[in-house]
Amino acid sequence: MALTILQQIEETVKAIRLKYAASPKVGIVLGSGLGNLTSEITIEKEIAYTDIPHFPVSTVEGHGGKLIFGTLSGQQVVILSGRFHYYEGYTPAQVVFPIRVLKFLGVDTLLLSNAAGGMNAGFRVGDLMIINDHISMFIVNPLLGKNDSELGPRFPDMSEPYDKALIKAAKGVAAGLGIPVHEGVYAGVTGPTFETRAEYRLLHIAGGDAVGMSTVQEVIAARHMGVSVFAISVITDLGIREEENIITHEEVLQAAAAAEPKLTALFKGIIAGL
């Protein structure tokens, strides 16, 4: 018989435990072109996804594909270096599988970053937006199907997916570092097409300040399990400009790389204060 998700998680955790025994409480997922934080870690153990049972393998340019354990800003952390997107063809359950594994490894706080298209007229390329809420109606909910109550409740509350205390702490760190940050709503989409102009307008009218192809499924799975979440977008392009506006993956990666030092400094400060 096929293994349940919980049985898969248990097998995976067991396999990881054979290679690394400590239990970091902080998990980190980095977005496209935003992987440099890993170079700041004092690495204790790296495990390639290909060596982890039941882990999908990352296919996207700009993504690594390994689990990194170590210390950062004085805290034990685990980084998912390389994330899985629905648009790559993974099922929603596969996309969130590593997040579930993190929880069962002991993670109770998850920090995520992503590259996103700006829709708020006040945003510029390179800006940072702390996510204070999201819109999940345009993605596929990873909790569809039979619920495993050992993971979380059938009907999880989503009134506050992004932890208010973490947002407050992040704003304090940003102010201290002199890094300007916006706060806003992240509209999740499946991709892989960037939005049409009409779609950007729709998502903006619907309440989105930024739009992107990751994060929301991971956040839903994390909140299902009671993990506290902080997430931040780097605005890599602007979706609502009326002039010529062709968005490319290269442009997104370039803008992400340019903004990355700010993000790295912010994450380090947040982690130091946890």
CB of 256 to ligand HPA, least distance (A): 8
State the Cα–Cα distance between residues 15 and 62, nearest whole angstrom.
Answer: 27
What part of residues 91-150 is at the interface with ligand HPA (CB under 6 A)? 115-117
**Phi, psi (degrees; rounded to nearest 5) at 164:** -65, -40
CB of 73 to ligand HPA, least distance (A): 27
CB of 64 to ligand HPA, least distance (A): 18
Q: Which residue's C-beta sits nearest to ligand HPA?
A: 117
State the Cα–Cα distance between residues 118 and 129, nearest whole angstrom.
Answer: 9
State the Cα–Cα distance between residues 77 and 61, nearest whole angstrom.
Answer: 24
CB of 236 to ligand HPA, least distance (A): 5
Residue 195 binds ligand HPA, judged by CB under 6 A: yes
Residue 194 binds ligand HPA, judged by CB under 6 A: yes
CB of 237 to ligand HPA, least distance (A): 5
What part of residues 171-190 is at the interface with ligand HPA (CB under 6 A)? 189
Q: Which is nearer to ligand HPA, 97 or 194 (CB)?
A: 194
E strands, the chain, where? 26-29, 42-48, 66-72, 75-81, 109-118, 128-135, 182-188, 210-212, 228-238
The pattern of x and - marking residues 202 through 231 that bind ligand HPA according to CB under 6 A reads: ---------xxx------------------
State the Cα–Cα distance between residues 216 and 161, nearest whole angstrom.
Answer: 10
State the Cα–Cα distance between residues 170 and 124, nearest whole angstrom.
Answer: 20
CB of 247 to ligand HPA, least distance (A): 5
Q: Which is nearer to ligand HPA, 92 or 117 (CB)?
A: 117
Contact indicator for 159, 105 with CB cutoff of 8 Å = no
Helix (H, G, I), strand (E, B) or coil at 125: coil
Q: Which is nearer to ligand HPA, 156 or 191 (CB)?
A: 191
Residue 24 binds ligand HPA, judged by CB under 6 A: no
Q: Which is nearer to ligand HPA, 65 or 117 (CB)?
A: 117
Strands 128-135 and 109-118: unpaired
Give the burial string for 197-208 (b: 16+ CB within 10 Å, else e): eebbeebbeeeb
Structure tokens, 214: 């990751």
Binding-site member from 236, 264, 267, 271 for ligand HPA (CB under 6 A): 236
Q: How many residues bind ligand HPA (CB under 6 A)?
A: 15
Structure tokens, 72: 């950062």
Binding-site member from 5, 6, 93, 247 for ligand HPA (CB under 6 A): 247
Q: Interface residues with ligand HPA (CB under 6 A)? A: 115-117, 189, 191, 194-195, 211-213, 236-237, 239, 247, 252
